[in-house]
Amino acid sequence: MTRLIKLERLKDKARRRSEKRTHKKTELAVNAIEVLKQLGYARTSLRDIAEHSGVSVGILHYYFEDKVDLISFCVQKYKEDFINEMDEILLASSGAEAIVEGFSHGLSETIRTGAETHRLWYDIRTQALFEENFHGVVAEIEYALILLVERLLGRLGIPKSDALQIYLTLDGAFRYCLQRTLSGDKTATQEFYKLVKTQLSSMITRG
């Protein structure tokens, strides 16, 4: 066996090991999110997550340094999935009106179907005001959300320089609707849908 072949086999073995580790971390994160979205950050312990996942606390520590590391990974995964979902909506729509309709409906639907998971994001974002360890992941996620808004504006022919202002407006409305939805208000998502659609449509008209 040549040296080159040996190196390639070692690289392939390392790649498979890395993929297996990532898969396991993701599996644990999915289980952790189910616990976190019900109990919240402060009331959830690693033991709670371990019991729900059917593993020992030691296994969690093998994959994650501590509770902050685990929760940061969970929130990143959830937000990546959310952003990918919204990007698919943007790509599937053609024409300004269809893009506005799809994006507005997509945002409102994700509150209706995933309110508890979105609550986890706002929980961690609030914790970042008190815990420095969350600063990095929260900043990274918010930057990714602003870039999502930039892509939306690009599809609508609106200057991307407005992205931060629009993100802050949408985020405030999203959190308000989320709070009402979690309180049992079944009209909140429809009102949110109309609000977002009206706002984006008016921006197209002004443009």
* Interatomic CA distance for residues 10 and 19, integer angstroms: 14
Give the Å distances, CA to CA, from 37 to 79, 114, 132.
Answer: 14, 10, 22
How many other β-carbons are positioned within 10 Å of the β-carbon of residue 45? 13
3-state secondary structure of 118: helix
- Classify burial at 65, counting beta carbons within 10 Å of its beta carbon; exposed 0-12, middle 13-18, buried 19 or more: exposed
Side chain identity, residue 37: K
Distance (Å, whole) CA 191 – CA 197: 10
Answer yes or no: are the C-beta atoms of 26 and 77 closer than 8 Å: yes
Q: Residue 115 — pLDDT band, cuts 50, 70, 90?
A: very high
Angle at 98 between CA 92 and CA 102, to 5 degrees: 65
pLDDT tens, position by position, 60-86:
999 999 989 998 998 998 899 999 999
Q: What is the pLDDT of residue 38?
A: 82
Best CA proximity match to 133, nearest among 82, 66, 62, 33: 66
Q: Walk me through the domains of the chain, giving residue ranges and CATH numbers.
A: 3-206 (1.10.357.10)
* 4-57 per-position pLDDT tens digit: 666 666 566 656 676 787 888 888 988 888 888 888 888 889 999 999 888 899
Q: Give the mean model confidence (pLDDT) for residues 102-123.
A: 94
